[in-house]
């Protein structure tokens, strides 16, 4: 595959990055070119929401002019990706040339530490071990955290080296939400914009601020070589006791959150950065943290439909590239305590069939306590695969997880056609976002 299908990747980023800094916060929304209107995104979500929702306007920061969110809010989509039919045809052609091992590898997105046998601590450069394992496992992507990101030159060079090791182009992902979850913006050495928590933007009721955040973040991280942002947060902050989401969410009002989510997606896409809305089916109502252990929502299905699903429907309507599924349980919906990330009813029954989403489904980190306390690495990835997920984010043990999927296909437990479904979705996103060329 390396000889027949090696794609040109961003290996020369570092030289360009050292000459340009990230833009300062405050780019005028009037500088954004308006492409097309998508009124139906909000109208459709409102039509499915129970009446009586509290839409009280919240006071916004004095420095921002507010505009009310109305049911005719106009959402702008920019920089349309490759035509769907064209991307599908290209993906099909690529898929036909892939081995089973290569296809399985596309379904894994890991940290560099998971594939580095040499470094003690955070990886800050590519080395032979990382290069070897990117190729050995045919990885689909890498996610970076604060410890990996020191300065602009180091980050750009490292990402370019990761990409040069891959035959198919890597997702290079990061959590750059703004506020407390800003792996890049909080580091002054990166000379990038640090936006406030999204709740502060949501409180303005001015959707152009959400677009501006997405557009600025997208432009700045793409300059460094990132092509995937695990954002925006599509949760609805309905539980005051919730500390894991809290002000990371745009609003406690699902309609406001929906409008903001759609606009931030458009801003990211304007810079060819893939979006991943999170944390389906909605983590804003929980009172416990799935990072540390079992977490559940008390919502029944009607409650999810009228509240939690509203921003996700808007995000899907806006063309999000991925939906990240959380590890929270919803016993009033599924009748059990299975995490959503491992639940066929949640992923296939609700996200895909009811909400009509046919894009990439990625799990939240499979190293979180809600998973590791109850499942082995191989059990988690196989359950997630059977539930309908396409990408496994940070499984506890890469080798064990990769081999579990590979062996399940080879022994007939899982049909190869199931792997093909996921890889087709993954490849189409990579084509649309110019990760493959």
Given 167, 235, 285, 364, the catalytic residue: 364
Q: Which helix (H) or strand (E) holds 325?
A: strand 322-325
User: Under a CB-based contact definition with an 8 Å cutoff, are residues 398 and 382 in contact?
Assistant: no
Q: How far is CA 257 from CA 154, 309, 313, in A?
A: 36, 11, 11
User: Under a CB-based contact definition with an 8 Å cutoff, are residues 217 and 190 in contact?
Assistant: no
Q: Is 364 annotated as catalytic?
A: yes
Question: Helix, strand, or coil here: 108?
Answer: strand
As a whole number of Å, the end-to-end CA separation of the chain is 15
Closest of 359, 244, 337 to residue 290, by C-alpha: 244
Q: Is 291 annotated as catalytic?
A: yes
Given 291, 298, 338, 353, the catalytic residue: 291
Which residue stretches of 182-282 are H helix? 198-202, 207-224, 254-269
User: Under a CB-based contact definition with an 8 Å cutoff, are residues 418 and 385 in contact?
Assistant: yes
328 sits in the region (left: phi over 0; alpha: psi -120 to 50; else beta) called beta
Closest of 374, 366, 357 to residue 323, by C-alpha: 357
- State the catalytic residues: 291, 364
């Amino acid at each position: 595959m390396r000889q027949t299908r090696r794609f040109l990747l961003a290996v020369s980023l570092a030289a360009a990055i050292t000459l340009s800094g990230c833009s300062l916060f405050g780019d005028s929304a009037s500088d954004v070119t308006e492409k097309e209107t998508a009124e139906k995104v909000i109208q459709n979500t409102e039509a499915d929401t129970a009446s009586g929702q509290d839409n009280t306007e919240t006071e916004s920061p004095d420095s921002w002019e507010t505009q009310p969110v109305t049911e005719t809010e106009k959402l702008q989509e920019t920089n349309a990706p490759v035509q769907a039919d064209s991307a599908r045809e290209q993906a099909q052609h690529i898929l036909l040339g892939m081995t089973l091992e290569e296809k399985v590898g596309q379904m894994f997105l890991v940290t560099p530490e998971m594939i580095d046998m040499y470094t003690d601590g955070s990886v800050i450069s590519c080395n032979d071990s990382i290069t070897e394992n990117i190729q050995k496992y045919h990885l689909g992507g890498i996610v970076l955290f604060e410890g990996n990101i020191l300065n602009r030159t180091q980050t750009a060079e490292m990402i370019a080296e990761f990409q040069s090791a891959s035959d198919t182009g890597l997702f290079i992902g990061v959590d750059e939400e703004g506020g407390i979850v800003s792996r890049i913006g909080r580091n002054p050495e990166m000379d990038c914009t640090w936006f406030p928590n999204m709740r502060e933007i949501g409180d303005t009721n001015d959707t152009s601020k959400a677009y501006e955040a997405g557009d600025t973040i997208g432009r700045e991280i793409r300059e460094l070589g990132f092509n995937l942002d695990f954002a925006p947060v599509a949760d609805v902050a309905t539980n005051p006791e919730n500390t894991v989401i809290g002000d990371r969410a745009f609003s406690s009002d699902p309609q406001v959150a929906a409008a903001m989510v759609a606009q931030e997606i458009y801003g990211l896409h304007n810079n060819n950065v893939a979006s991943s809305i999170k944390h389906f089916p909605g983590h804003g109502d929980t009172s416990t943290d799935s990072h540390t252990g079992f977490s559940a929502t008390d919502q029944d299905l009607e409650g999810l439909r009228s509240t939690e699903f509203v921003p996700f429907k808007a995000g899907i309507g806006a063309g999000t590239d991925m939906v990240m599924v959380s590890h929270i349980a919803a016993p009033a919906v599924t009748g059990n305590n299975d995490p959503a990330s491992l639940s066929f009813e949640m992923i296939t029954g609700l996200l895909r069939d009811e909400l009509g989403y046919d894009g990439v489904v990625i799990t939240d980190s499979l190293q979180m306590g809600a998973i590791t306390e109850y499942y082995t690495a191989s059990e988690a990835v196989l359950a997630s695969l059977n539930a309908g997920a396409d990408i496994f984010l940070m499984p506890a043990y890469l080798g064990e997880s990769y081999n579990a999927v590979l062996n399940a296909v080879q022994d007939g437990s899982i049909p190869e056609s199931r792997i093909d479904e996921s890889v087709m979705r993954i490849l189409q996103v990579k084509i649309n976002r110019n990760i493959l060329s």
